[in-house]
Each structure stands twice: as C-alpha cells, then as structure tokens.
C-alpha cells in the first residue's frame, strides 16, 4: 500500500465558524500553510480578528510565545474564493450539517483540485459513504471529526467511508498524532464512536426520571459521586442544549432503523417542546436564573449510631469490590467475620446487603430481607451510595444498613426500587454499546476507550470499566434487566457474552490467580 505523508501538507479549511477557525488555528500552529475560507468573507475576517485577540491574550498571560503567535499568523491566510484552494493537499470542511451542502461543496472542489487532494468532512453524524457517493475519486473522502473547541479537545475521530483509502486514513492518523491529538479510527456508521456509545448515558438517566425513582439533582450527584463522571447527565444535557442532544438522539435512532437502544425520551422531548433548552435558554432541568443553578442536591443527614460494635458477616470473594471490603476493615465500629460462599453478600443481622446485579428488589426478593447497593468507582474516597430494600425489610433492617454505612462514614441514599440502580446500570449499558460497536467492526476496544475518555471526558472507557467491574457482573446486570423489562434495548451483546465466557478479562484472571 502506498504511503502518504501529510506532514508538509497545504491545508484549507472551509467554514469560519468556531469549529472551522479552531481547525485552521491548529494547522497553522503546526507549520502548515493554511487557508481559511467562508462564503461570507466578513465572517472570515471577523474570525481571524477574534483569533488574534484570543491568542494575544494567551501571549500576555505567558501561555503562548510571541514566536508561535507570529508563526501561526504567518501561516494562516484568508481565501477570497474556492479557486484559491486549488493547490491544497488537505481540505477540511466545517460547514452546516446538511449532506447535500457538503456534497455540493466537494463537487465544486473536485473541479478545481487535483485527484490527490484529500476531502475531509468534520461532520459529527452524516455518513461519509453517503457524502462520497457523488464525488469523483470517492476514495479521497474521509471523516475528520474534531471536538469543540478543536484546539483544546484531544480527540479526533478519523472516519472511513466504504471507499475511503486506507492510506489516507493512516496518513491522517499520523498527522493528527503530530498535532498532539488523540486520533481514533472508525467505520462510517451513525454516530461514529462517541455519539453512538454515549447514548446510554443520557437514555438511562431519562428512564430513571420517567420511572419517577429519582430527581435530576440527585441523579447528577450519584453519577458524579459513584461513577466519577465529571458531570451528571442532566447538567450535561443542559450544557450541550436539550434540543441539540435530542436532535442527535433522533438522528441516531432513525439512522439505525429505529433500533430500540437509541429510542428518544419523552422526558427530553417535553423540555424541548417547552423551550427549556438548558443553559442557553436559562431553564432546563435546572433554573439558571439563580446562582448556583437550582435545585441543588444535599445529602440527607444520618443519625445512625451504635453504642456497641456492629457484627457483620462478609460472605463470598467480592473479587471486584476489594475497595469496599478494605473500607469495612478500616471501620472502627464494625466487627467483621468472613465466610466462604459462592454468593457475595454482607449479612447485618437478618438483612443481606448485596451489590446490585440488575435485579429488582421488589420483584426478585419479595419474600427476602435483601438490600441492593449501587457500584462505586472509588471506595477509598466514597461518601455516599444509593441503596434500595425489598418490601420485607422492616425499619430496623434499614437501620442496620444505616449503621453499617455510618461505620464506614458513607451516607446511604435510600432509593425506590430501580433495577441495577444508577451508576452500575448506566455503565453496563455503555459497556454493552461498546461491545456492539466492536462486534460490528466500527472500532477497536482501545479506540473506543480512548474516544470516550478524550471525547466526552469519561473517567474510564467502557472496556476499562468492564475489566474493573468484571465482564461477568456486567453480563449478569444486563441479563437481569433484560428479563425484568422484556425490552430489546437491554439485550446483552454477543460480544459481551464471548468476553464473559472467555474469562471475564485480564484483571479478573489476575484476581483469581492471586486468591
């Protein structure tokens, strides 16, 4: 295969909006002779003026050298017409998200530029295969999806259409790495990697709200606390814009021929219909006319205290929850004993406390004293955890659970019954979506993990979570949710089943060997 070197490529960026000027800035900063063009010449001029002011402030703050500032603007020029882009080696379009507009633009460029010129689309959702279908030499059409703001965000998705040249994809991968980006490659499919794999983060949040088991502010707290996400799903969609997020969900749902996993939520539609679009409208899940936005979540106050040490029996190996066991051992008001068992449970008097595996406390344990807890990503620093109890649990049983968590200085957040609770349920769905993407050859496990960490700032990628939690636990969680709901959206991926059957990942094998 012929190799292509783009390290000295002349670059042209079409579209002088926030994304376009950001991509042009990147290219120019890395020494490429770069043109920026917009059909509105005034917009191009304004974008360059704003960039000069912005980078000038960075120079004054000592965050950018004067030499780099001068070099960037020496390499960055405005183009007055498409014809001036005839000698560009790499053309990146960042125009409106409409397939016909992008196709028409590339058709015009095909008449001007030589056959070796690469046509890259910064689209976040439109099929690269479809865009290329009407372009001469479709093998040169590729997706180059930056995340906003382009100079700051590390991730770049390189999208291969059905006819995209592998040599071009490889050359762009090398180029993005030289620009100090984190490039990942993916097959052209609805949502690519990030906008596809991220859908459960929003969908499961909206499902919990629709089932009336939590409130937005509580849910956001739980996902930040237990999942260690930078933002909860409600505050994140408020930031993105409820209309924007809803539109992407609709697009992915339609493009996947109405696959149930991507079905939009009536909760979000109601917000959009009401004009409650989030931060930009002043109202979404939160009211932004107040500082801080309201409502704010406050942990409940616990008065659980015990004069005597609480006797606790830990059964099972808890292979993937050693942090919890360590926290129990450190608790001064808990007297621990251990017993071998095929089932992980913590016995406190008559009640059995267990990690949720996607069961329903109300349905599966109607005749047992069982409390189910959510998963926590960081037991060493945990301060709260959602818990639900079966109907058999009396007030004294709940109090015993309160005493256990009080001994660890962890606040139980008592919840209505919700299969898989919140963090574990959402992460299991993210893992499942990642598994489906690998199964369909969209991207590799490594690229999916990198995409989710650097594209949407997840604390871990889906496959890193699966290693940590255990593929078997993820699979059990989904199987139970699939059984309880009877909905295709919770059907475990065959790829996940294979991973679980082959040993549940490297970490679990190491834990078993160590034990």
Residues 93 and 172 in one domain: yes
3-state secondary structure of 20: helix
Give dist(CA 176, CA 181) in Å, integer.
Answer: 5
Residues 180 and 213 in one domain: no
Residues 183 and 200 in one domain: no
Residues 69 and 172 in one domain: yes
In a domain, 498, yes or no: no
Residues 181 and 217 in one domain: no
In a domain, 158, yes or no: yes
Give the strand pairing for 334-339 and 310-315.
parallel
In a domain, 462, yes or no: no
The answer to whether 467 is a known catalytic residue is no
Residues 118 and 262 in one domain: no
Residues 82 and 151 in one domain: yes
In a domain, 500, yes or no: no
pLDDT (average), residues 139-157: 97
Q: What is the CA radius of gyration of the chain?
A: 26
DSSP string, 68-88: HHHHHHHHEEE-SSGGGGTT-
Residues 181 and 233 in one domain: no
The answer to whether 33 is a known catalytic residue is no
CATH number at residue 370: 3.40.50.720
Q: Which of 75, 145, 320, 418 is catalytic?
A: 145
Q: Which of 127, 165, 188, 195 is catalytic?
A: 195
Residues 121 and 179 in one domain: yes
The answer to whether 381 is a known catalytic residue is no
Q: Are 66 and 24 in contact (CB under 8 A)?
A: no
- Residue 167: phi, psi to the nearest 5? -65, -40
The answer to whether 399 is a known catalytic residue is no
> Of 414, 430, 447, which marks where a domain is finished?
414
Q: Which of 124, 127, 356, 415 is catalytic?
A: 124
Residues 123 and 211 in one domain: no
Largest CA distance in the chain: 84
In a domain, 258, yes or no: yes
In a domain, 47, yes or no: yes
Task: Note the pLDDT tens digit of each residue in 130-147.
Answer: 999 999 999 999 999 999
Residues 18 and 164 in one domain: yes
**Whole-number pLDDT of residue 505:** 52
Q: Which of 32, 33, 157, 321 is catalytic?
A: 157
> Of 366, 393, 414, which marks where a domain is finished?
414
Measured N-to-C along each axis, helices 66-75 and 41-60 cross at an angle, to the nearest 10 degrees, of: 170
- Residue 321: phi, psi to the nearest 5? -130, 40
In a domain, 171, yes or no: yes
Give dist(CA 175, CA 397) in Å, integer.
Answer: 61
Q: Model confidence at 508, in pLDDT bands (50, 70, 90)?
A: low
> Of 414, 429, 461, which marks where a domain is finished?
414
Q: Which one-letter DSSP state was computed for residue 309?
A: P
| Predicted confidence (pLDDT) at residue 321 exceeds the cutoff of 60 | yes
Domain that holds residue 229: 195-281
Task: Note the pLDDT tens digit of each residue in 385-413.
Answer: 999 999 999 999 999 999 999 999 999 99
């Amino acid at each position: 295969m012929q190799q292509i070197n783009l390290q000295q490529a002349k670059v042209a960026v079409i579209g002088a909006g926030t994304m376009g000027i950001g991509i042009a800035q990147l290219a120019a900063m890395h020494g490429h002779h770069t043109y920026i063009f917009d059909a509105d010449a005034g917009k191009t001029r304004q974008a360059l003026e704003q960039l000069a002011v912005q980078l000038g402030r960075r120079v004054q703050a000592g965050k950018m050298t004067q030499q780099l500032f001068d070099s960037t603007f020496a390499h960055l020029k405005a183009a007055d017409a498409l014809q001036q882009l005839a000698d560009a080696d790499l053309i990146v379009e960042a125009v409106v998200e409409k397939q016909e507009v992008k196709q028409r633009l590339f058709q015009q460029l095909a008449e001007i530029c030589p056959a070796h010129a690469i046509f890259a689309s910064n689209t976040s959702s439109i099929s690269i295969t479809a865009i290329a279908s009407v372009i001469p030499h479709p093998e040169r059409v590729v997706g180059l999806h930056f995340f906003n703001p382009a100079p700051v965000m590390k991730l770049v998705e390189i999208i291969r259409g059905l006819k995209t040249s592998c040599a071009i994809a490889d050359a762009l991968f090398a180029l993005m790495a030289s620009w100090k980006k984190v490039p990942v490659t993916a097959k052209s499919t609805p949502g690519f990697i990030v906008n596809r794999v991220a859908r459960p983060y929003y969908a499961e949040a909206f499902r919990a709200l629709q089932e009336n088991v939590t409130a937005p502010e509580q849910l956001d707290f739980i996902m930040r606390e237990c999942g260690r996400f930078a933002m909860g799903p409600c505050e994140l969609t408020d930031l993105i814009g409820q209309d924007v997020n809803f539109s992407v969900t609709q697009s992915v749902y339609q493009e996947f021929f109405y696959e149930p996993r991507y079905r939009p939520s009536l909760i979000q539609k109601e917000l959009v219909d009401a004009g409650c679009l989030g931060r930009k409208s002043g109202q979404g899940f939160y009211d932004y006319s107040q500082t801080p936005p309201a409502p704010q979540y406050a942990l409940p106050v616990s008065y659980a205290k015990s004069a005597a040490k609480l006797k606790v029996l830990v059964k099972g190996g808890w292979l993937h929850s050693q942090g919890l066991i360590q926290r129990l051992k450190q608790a001064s008001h808990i007297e621990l004993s251990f017993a071998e068992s095929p089932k992980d449970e913590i016995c406190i008097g008559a009640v059995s406390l267990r990690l949720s595996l996607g069961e329903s406390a109300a349905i599966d344990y109607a005749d047992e004293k069982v409390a189910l807890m959510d998963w926590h990503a960081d037991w060493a620093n945990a301060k709260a955890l959602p818990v639900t109890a079966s109907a058999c649990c009396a007030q004294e049983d709940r109090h015993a659970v309160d005493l256990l968590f009080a001994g660890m200085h962890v606040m139980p957040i008592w919840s209505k019954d919700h299969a898989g609770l919140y963090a574990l349920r959402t992460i299991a769905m993210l893992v499942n979506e990642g598994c489906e993407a690998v199964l369909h050859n969209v991207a590799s496990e490594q690229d999916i993990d990198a995409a989710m960490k650097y594209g949407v700032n997840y604390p871990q990628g889906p496959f890193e979570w699966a290693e940590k939690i255990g593929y078997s636990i993820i699979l059990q969680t989904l199987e139970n949710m699939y059984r309880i709901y009877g909905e295709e959206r919770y059907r475990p991926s065959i790829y996940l089943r294979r991973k679980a059957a082959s040993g549940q990942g490297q970490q679990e094998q190491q834990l078993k060997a160590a034990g």
